[in-house]
Amino acid sequence: METNIQNLLNILVGGITIWILCAGALLCLLIDALWPRKMSVPVYTIGILTLIVTLCSAWYQWLQPDLPAAQDLLVIDLHTLFFITLVVLVGILTILNALGYMQLHNDLTAEFCSLIIFSIIGMVFFFSSDHLLINFIGLETMSLSIYVLVGSHKKNFKSNEAAIKYFIIGGVASAIFLYGVAMFYGAYGTLKISELAMALPTQGLDYLPKTAVAFILTGIFFKLAVVPFHFWAPDVYEGAPSPVTGFMATGVKIASFGFAIRIFIGINVLDMPQIQNLLVVVVVATFIVGNLLAIVQDDVKRMLAYSSVSHAGFVLFGMLAGFREGRYEPFSSHTVMFYLLGYLLMTLGAFAILSLMIRKRSEATHYTDLEGLGHSKPLLAGLFTLFMFSMVGMPGTVGFAAKYSVISLAVQNGHIGLAILAVVMSIVSAFYYLRPSVTMFFKKGAGGCPVIQEIPFTSSASITFCAFTVIYLGLNPDAFIKLAKIAAF
Amino acid sequence: MNPYFFYAFATITVLMVVLMILQKNPITGAMCLIVSFFSLAGLYVLLEAHFIAVLQILVYAGAIMVLFIFVIMFLNLKKEDLKTGRRPFYQFAALIASGALVTFLVVQYTKIPPVSFPESVAGFGTVEAIGSLMFSKYVIAFEVIGLLLLVGIIGAVLLGKKENHD
């Protein structure tokens, strides 16, 4: 019994960041239940405060010289703490965006805030556990909250369609993932990643674990929306409310990569040539399809959906670039982590601006809606252009530093062909990333009111933060690359 | 595990699930699903997981199926509603993709060397054994599933609630 209490205490102290999140989410829910429809703004404030406290406690744990040893089901190491920082940052920016969005659309529901925090809790369990069972439960908590968030525009037909589509496809993906997990259990009788690593042979995997790896990869690829599994992305991203789209495009991908890095470095399956070939096929297909389809879109949100597909391909390319002569070097995952940080900032900045676009009480993100915005709101249009430049990878922005670190790693490790493809595709991407800016500045609007009329304070706070960090990290990436290097395995 | 019983239950399960997909009438499909749930419970009994078998029947065959049938009757679908547009290309593609996956799995299955599983310990699969594991070793999993269910409830309320403003 004593050991049990000790165990519980360890879990409580070690996982304090997660328990703060849980308490905050429940508090938001409770306040909304006690004073319905009156306390929306305080609830959002509590949500943001919770996330900030989580960030501080993660930082405090980071500074602790010796972290608590790996607990039974929860591993709080530097890798986990780095990814917690990323997803909590996503959460803060999303809640700020959502507050602005909901003031404009005049439907402020407090559940939105607690669902975002619940989703972050799911993400944290998804990548912080050493046990595939907990990983799966985390994945489901994350996904279930997002299905609801996608459908939270109840009267909008597109939002309903997107929610159903995402729910069914995501359910199938989860089932495939779970099938892979079950195969691991069938082969080795354990679900702990550290025990699986001991049980797996170092050379040449058996058939059962090979199939298991393929199925788990399929589940992750669905969540990442890389190319053979990207079909749901544009419709769902278009139908979901803009802040939720930003949340999905960043948070889900960050959490999935956090999990992918943990499991694949943990059990060393990446060293199989088949897995490497599979990754090469997926990366090449994602680069080509994601970038070319983004060109033909007429809606900024759909364009950003395809752009997020191609960015996921870029991050996967970062994983692939870590192979030197057929072996993955765990240390090189720091490029992936830095890329994710940069991607998060520029994407959420762009979605903060998209969240403000409203016409006749509904979202207006078609290219024609942007016409003349450069004259009515020049500063905002300029910042949007900055985020787009960063996505292309213009020097001086974080996009450049991130892409540069991935490509230079690839060249060092001898993946020349893929590196050339990545550069070519970045140049192609300039075409569709600059189209919104050209529309904003060089096309006169057809009269009518401009698409952005008022800018709520919270939105301007998140836009300012993103713009500042995009430039700051672009000019001075070294400090943060160093942080990512410490956090890499 | 008795192989005859295993193959009998496994065949019934697979057959019923396939029938469920092929049925035009949703109620008949739901009935097929119930039978497959029962034979799945039989498989759990063969694995000495008696508690899981009981839960399977109580939760799936009991609660969830009642909900399914309730929803089907509530929707009151007519014959015209059930007609789906034929898309030969997609059907063909789906057939090829799923056929390839099944072939792959079958081929992999034949290559698996015989695995010997350890004998189950005394008291395996009882309520007591599951309960003590659930509240000691897997207490985090238990708590997170609590959160997961809470999210499900919030989602159902949020999406199903009537809007009373505007």
Amino acid letter for position B162: K
Of B111, B137, B144, the CB nearest to A125: B144
A109 Cβ under 8 Å from any chain B Cβ: yes
Indicate the domain borders of chain A: 2-488
Q: How far is the C-alpha of A318 from the C-alpha of A76, rounded, in Å?
A: 24
User: For position B109, what pLDDT does the model report?
Assistant: 76
Count Cβ–Cβ pairs < 8 Å, chain A vs chain B: 82
Structure tokens at A451: 């698409």
DSSP B165: -
Q: What is the pLDDT of residues A354-405, one digit of tens each?
A: 988 888 777 888 888 888 888 888 899 999 999 999 999 888 899 999 999 9
CB contacts of B144 in chain A (<8 Å) are 121, 125, 134, 137-138, 141
- Model confidence band, residue A456 (pLDDT cutoffs 50, 70, 90): confident
Q: What is the mean pLDDT of residues A203-230?
A: 84
Contact at CB, A207 and B159, closer than 8 angstroms:
no
Percent of chain A at pLDDT > 90 equals 48
Compare all CA atoms of chain A with the CA of B149 and give the residue at the minimum distance: A141
Q: How far is the C-alpha of A304 from the C-alpha of A391, rounded, in Å?
A: 10
Rounded to a whole number, what is the distance in Å from the CA of A361 to chain B's nearest CA?
13
Q: How far is the C-alpha of B75 from the C-alpha of B83, rounded, in Å?
A: 15
Query: What ipTM is given for this predicted complex?
Result: 0.88
* Torsion on CA atoms A304, A310, A313, A318, rounded to nearest 10: -90
- Model confidence band, residue A69 (pLDDT cutoffs 50, 70, 90): low
In this structure, the strands spanning A362-363 and A327-328 are unpaired
Of A11, A115, A186, the CB nearest to B140: A11
CB contacts of A109 in chain B (<8 Å) are 158
Contact at CB, B108 and A210, closer than 8 angstroms:
yes
Indicate the domain borders of chain B: 1-79, 126-161
Contact at CB, B141 and A137, closer than 8 angstroms:
yes
pTM of the model: 0.91
Structure tokens at A89: 């940052």
The domain B1-79 having CATH identifier 1.20.120.1200: the answer here is yes
Rounded to a whole number, what is the distance in Å from the CA of B58 to chain A's nearest CA?
22
A207 Cβ under 8 Å from any chain B Cβ: yes
- Model confidence band, residue A305 (pLDDT cutoffs 50, 70, 90): very high
User: For position A167, what pLDDT does the model report?
Assistant: 94
pLDDT along chain B (166 residues), means of 10: 86 93 85 92 88 90 87 80 74 89 83 68 80 84 91 89 63
User: For position A89, what pLDDT does the model report?
Assistant: 94
Q: What is the pLDDT of residues B25-58, one digit of tens each?
A: 888 888 899 999 999 999 998 888 888 899 999 9
- Contact call for residues A156 and A362 (beta carbons, < 8 A): yes
User: For position B118, what pLDDT does the model report?
Assistant: 66
Of A145, A154, A208, the CB nearest to B151: A145
Residue with tokens 């019983």: B5
Contact at CB, B151 and A141, closer than 8 angstroms:
yes
CB contacts of B162 in chain A (<8 Å) are none
Q: How far is the C-alpha of A323 from the C-alpha of A271, rounded, in Å?
A: 8
- Contact call for residues A477 and A338 (beta carbons, < 8 A): yes
Query: Which phi and psi angles does A157 have, rounded to 5°?
Result: -60, -40
Which of A334-338, A344-348, A454-458, B109-113 shows the lowest mean pLDDT across its residues?
Answer: B109-113
